[in-house]
């Protein structure tokens, strides 16, 4: 390109993205394994009906985190729908196109798994006029969410432009870039920004509207059951604690996804390019998994108590070990 390459700061460099995403993924892997162990072995009887839904959600969160933070590590050039991967998947011959489809699918499955958790609580705890019909339609409802993911990912299989000309047009619509980007294997997913952004935003909005419905109905219906004395005060307290815990478990981690998605939409809509902000947005999105697991352990009382017991046991073991060493070598 006939322009003077700008100086490259640390935050806009590939090194920043790879170092932080690798570090976060390493910490997240340990955290996720501990979270899975908690779900499998420390879920109490009163949470048994939601146990495998939590396990399913945790599984897809892990898959999404590993895909972003280790396998792909996408270096994105928003507002153009282009970029190149920095992860290990490229070394095994997996195309950038396939990696993009994989990340979109895993993000969608993570969101749908969250819906499944709340639908399970809605079906188990709430009373409503169409309850019998809902038991028939609840599985088609979840299937419909999976089908709704298709308009987001399937067109990406067919909207990929001819790469050499698409890359020229991409570079023309961006400011002068560092030399390493021009030399990188940049892949242009699509030049139809309107469709891609609209389909992603529509899918995310649908998911959040469904979550809002389940949030509201679970809280109001549980309160109505207690006021009408269909359930005891203790049952109400247990149900409320579980519902509140699920809401906190979903809302806080999804902030780590919502902020980067919001920035991406703004970047495309206003044609704004800032590689530092884009890299920071990717790092922020990778925190979703850690936040989800930590919040799950903190807000669900059985998991929190089990974790505290483990910490106390570890401290006692450490103190006993130190006392033995003091006696031996003191």
Distance CA 286, CA 292 (A): 11
Per-domain residue ranges for the chain? 10-312
Q: Is the pLDDT of residue 179 over 80?
A: yes
Mean pLDDT of the region 307-325: 79
pLDDT tens per residue, range 206-222: 888 998 888 888 878 77
Q: Residue 245 pLDDT > 80, yes or no?
A: no
Mean pLDDT of the chain: 84
Residues 33 and 7: their CA atoms lie apart, in Å, by 41
pLDDT band at 329 (very low <50, low <70, confident <90, very high): low
Over its C-alpha atoms, the chain yields an Rg (Å, rounded) of 23
Residue 1 has pLDDT above 60, yes or no: no
pLDDT, tens digit, 9 for 90 and up, residues 11-35: 999 999 999 998 988 898 889 889 9
| Residues 319-322: contacts with CB under 8 Å, at least 24 apart | none
pLDDT at 85: 94
Kind and range of the H or E element at 283?
helix 275-286
pLDDT band at residue 231 under the 50/70/90 scheme: low
Query: What is the CATH number assigned to the segment(s) 10-312?
Result: 1.20.1070.10
73: left (phi over 0), alpha (psi -120 to 50) or beta: left
């Amino acid at each position: 390109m006939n322009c003077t390459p700008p100086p490259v700061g640390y935050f806009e460099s590939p090194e920043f993205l790879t170092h932080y995403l690798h570090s976060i993924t390493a910490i997240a892997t340990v955290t996720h394994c501990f979270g899975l162990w908690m779900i499998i072995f420390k879920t109490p009887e009163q949470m048994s009906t939601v146990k495998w839904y939590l396990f399913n959600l945790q599984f897809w969160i892990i898959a999404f985190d590993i895909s972003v933070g280790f396998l792909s590590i996408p270096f994105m050039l928003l507002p153009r729908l282009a970029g190149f991967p920095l992860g290990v998947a490229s070394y095994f011959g997996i195309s950038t196109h396939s990696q993009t489809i994989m990340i979109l699918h895993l993000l969608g499955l993570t969101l749908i798994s969250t819906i499944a958790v709340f639908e399970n609580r809605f079906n188990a705890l709430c009373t409503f006029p169409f309850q019998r019909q809902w038991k028939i339609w609840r599985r088609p409802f979840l299937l419909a969410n999976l089908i709704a993911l298709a308009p987001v990912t399937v067109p990406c299989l067919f909207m990929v432009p001819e790469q050499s000309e698409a890359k020229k047009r991409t570079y023309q619509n961006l400011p002068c870039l560092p030399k390493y980007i021009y030399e990188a294997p940049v892949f242009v997913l699509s030049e139809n920004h309107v469709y891609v952004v609209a389909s992603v935003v529509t899918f995310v909005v649908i998911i959040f509207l469904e979550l809002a419905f389940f949030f509201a109905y679970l809280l109001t219906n549980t309160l109505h059951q207690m006021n009408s004395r269909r359930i005891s005060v203790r049952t109400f307290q247990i149900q409320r604690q579980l519902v509140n815990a699920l809401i906190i478990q979903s809302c806080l981690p999804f902030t780590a996804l919502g902020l980067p998605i919001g920035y991406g939409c703004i970047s495309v809509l206003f044609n704004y390019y800032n590689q530092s902000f884009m890299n920071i947005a990717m790092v922020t999105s990778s925190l979703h998994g850690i936040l989800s697991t930590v919040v799950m352990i903190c807000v669900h009382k059985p998991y929190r108590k089990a974790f505290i017991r483990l910490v106390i046991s570890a401290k006692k073991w450490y103190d006993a070990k130190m006392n033995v060493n003091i006696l031996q070598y003191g």
